[in-house]
Chain A
């Protein structure tokens, strides 16, 4: 199977962690590695910023202060100010909401629609599988970012449309993953046992096949939240996502490119925020993936 989506690529490239392979590497109850703890903490902070930004930033994200335009980082403005004198730190904190909303929303669309299609293809009639999978092949032939651009061209820009665009672009790869899972489960012993014990077809599908087929994909979707957020920021950077003056990391960088020469803080910190988010979701996602595989083995 070929790797086409960024999510699969990031997941496929996971290096093994912890103790070296061999005797003594048996799993015991232990704390997750330091990297995972750090990543988890960063994620908690970003989620906190998205839910209760007032807790982390006291200033107003939209307050213009023309006396302190493009001011360097200081005690008053930790990460400096932008071209309108707005506090960069405050805008970063308030921007977490849009990024996470994009990330989770887009993944939810891809995951839900992809799972329905994948389970239908994996369990349905042969012709249904054939039709759905050829459609998925067509979808996978378009690089995700281009598919998202087509959706934007049809629907127009803005945060909500960017979310839909990235979500739709992700459907084919989730569908393929869920189908692959469903196919292996179809012949799994516990599924056949459940049937033999007299559980109805629908009961087996709902209680046994779907949860077990979707679970590993949900773990993969953790990484997807980060890549979807970055795709959303990219669309905003290109002027197709969240419009100004709303605080959003990608659109902040888009404006910041006009001040690259004279206000380094303006283009450094929003990018750092995005990178931290993607790093953290990747580390946590890979860790969950490894634990899931460890339990199965």
Chain B
């Protein structure tokens, strides 16, 4: 996708140029996302002012309504509101929550840590598990491969909320190994992490094994074996690097899976975090909070994709020519 963007001969170093173009496109995408979220607030059926003063059943006086309207800037022309919104975003201001009457950035700041902790743990477990399974099963006997890909198919098809429920039943209610709710201590992180990680790992390891098997057919593997390298050294030292390119294309899928998983895990395990705040905000139509969190996730997604894109030529030096 990004390769097509830089076809003209480059004056600067091709990689630097490539990076600049990628960052610029990323900024454009985030700007588009921000515009979309701004429009969403304003095409909402119903009056946001009514939502702020307490929902449909509240009966505020006209004076109160007018004051709130002024306070939140809804009396300004749309263009002015848009400019203010973008200006605010640049300063990290995502607006004020209708329900919590706090700046959205503060709300997000309070909850961010718990979700990042969960997502990073789940991401690490998912990738680690996928690497191990793929390295152990690529090009092995038919029975081994069939068992692995069968298990992966079932896990990839398992809804994470059901997996979480089963984990709760087995390890929390049954064996009492882990707490069923809350985010106190590392033990409370285990079940939600496994719940998010397993379905992601299942999909990633399938892609990785196919890529590894493709790599193991390459001439440089024959060379490596001819030099007397052992099987493990060939796989980890040579084939894996070759197989990483297809893996990094999965980054977007992994990030999306982590976000979606966090929303469900935080609800199922009654954990603090962005997912739970998001869910409450969706139910109460607290749009600034909903859109603030969604915009943040889009930004993370864009940044991850840029980083991955810039990693390609480092992982696979043959792509350096292709980029230029």
Chain A residues with a Cβ under 8 A of chain B: 1-6, 8-10, 12-15, 134-135, 137-138, 140-147, 149-150, 152-154, 157, 226, 230, 233-234, 237-240, 250, 253, 256-257, 260-261, 264, 267-268, 270-271, 274-275, 278-279, 282-283
Contact = CB atoms under 8 A, between A and B. Distances in A.
A238 B206 contact: no
A281 to B, nearest CB: 9
Contacts of B250: 2-3, 9, 12
B166 A268 contact: yes
Contact of A260 (B168, B252, B293, B305): B168
Interface in B29-73: 29-30, 32-33, 36, 40, 43-45
A122 to B, nearest CB: 14
Say what secondary structure dominates the interface of chain A.
helix
B298 to A, nearest CB: 4
Q: Which of the listed residues B1, B251, B253 has the most CB atoms from chain A within 10 Å of its own CB?
A: B253
Interface string B269-290: 0000000001101110101001
Nearest to B267: A238
Contacts of A239: 283
Contacts of B298: 141-142
11 contacts: A13-B210, A138-B36, A140-B252, A141-B298, A142-B294, A150-B294, A153-B281, A153-B287, A157-B283, A250-B159, A257-B168
Nearest to B202: A13
B203 interface: yes
Contact of A142 (B152, B297, B308): B297
Contacts, number: 175
Nearest to A140: B252
B127 interface: no
A238 B149 contact: no
B29 A138 contact: yes
Interface in B231-275: 249-253, 255-257, 259-260, 263-264, 267-268
B162 A134 contact: no
A153 B165 contact: no
The 6 A-B pairs at the shortest CB distance, nearest first, are namely: A271-B162, A13-B206, A143-B256, A145-B260, A138-B32, A278-B157
